């Protein structure tokens, strides 16, 4: 198993969700248990000695790996969700996407002082969602934040908004 095999298993859909965007779908990769576990192993191996206490997954594809990563790392899982999905008091941030605007939310009691967080999402493009997620995490007194992605679109320079953070991407396109 190797990264090239994983990359080749991803479905690419041109002009979705709008013209000029190429959507990269991870569902074709995660439907293969060997591929899914290979990617999980890579991320867990990178972060296993970092003292992670919570994995924060960004809706919705960040949940797929986020829960599994939390389990393997012996950490709790915390979702960052879109509007109207969390039932208790929340912090929120609005932000621009490559193809529109959105907002994300986290429960105010989701993290505790001193937590060490692994923020996980499936894709890093321009960094808008990740930057907004980090703004949400600024509401907490954390002892550390690490960031991981399955795919990074290097040409869109999303990593530029993550300066000073430990960032790991499995696939760089």
Q: What is the pLDDT along the chain (173 residues), one digit of tens a residue?
A: 999 999 999 999 999 988 888 899 999 999 999 999 999 999 999 999 999 999 999 998 889 999 999 999 999 999 999 999 999 999 999 987 766 788 999 999 999 999 999 999 999 998 989 999 999 999 999 999 999 999 999 999 999 989 899 999 999 98
Query: Can you read off the two tokens belonging to residue 21?
Result: 């965007």
pLDDT at 150: 97
Asked whether 85 and 24 are in contact (CB, 8 A), the reply is: no
Half-sphere exposure of 123 (CA within 13 A, CB side): 20
Q: Helices (H) and strands (E) in the chain — how many of each?
A: 5, 9
Q: Residue 64 and residue 60: Cα distance in Å, rounded? A: 8
Calculate the CA dihedral of residues 12, 16, 21, 23 and round it to 10 degrees.
-30
Query: Can you read off the two tokens belonging to residue 89?
Result: 């008091």
Among residues 59, 72, 98, 135, the one annotated as catalytic is: 98
Whether 98 sits among the annotated catalytic residues: the reply is yes
Among residues 61, 81, 152, 159, the one annotated as catalytic is: 61
pLDDT at 17: 84
- What residue ranges define each of the domains in the chain, with the CATH number in brackets? 48-172 (3.40.50.2020)
Query: CB atoms < 10 A from the CB of 44, how many?
Result: 18
pTM: 0.94
Give the DSSP letter of residue 86.
Answer: -
């Amino acid at each position: 198993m190797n990264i090239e095999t994983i990359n080749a298993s991803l479905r690419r859909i041109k002009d979705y969700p709008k013209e000029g965007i190429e959507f990269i779908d991870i569902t074709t990769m995660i439907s293969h248990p060997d591929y899914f576990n290979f990617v999980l192993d890579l991320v867990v191996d990178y972060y296993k000695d970092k003292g992670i206490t919570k994995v924060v997954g960004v809706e919705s594809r960040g949940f797929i790996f986020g829960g599994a990563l939390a389990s393997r790392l012996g950490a709790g899982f915390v979702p960052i969700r879109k509007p109207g999905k969390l039932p208790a008091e929340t912090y929120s941030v609005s932000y621009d996407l490559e193809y529109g605007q959105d907002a994300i939310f986290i429960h105010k009691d989701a993290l505790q002082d001193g937590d060490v967080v692994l923020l996980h999402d499936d894709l890093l493009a321009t960094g808008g969602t990740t930057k907004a997620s980090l703004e949400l995490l600024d509401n907490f007194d954390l002892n550390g934040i690490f960031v991981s992605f399955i795919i990074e679109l290097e040409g869109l320079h999303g990593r530029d908004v993550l300066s000073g953070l430990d960032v790991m991407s499995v696939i760089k396109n």
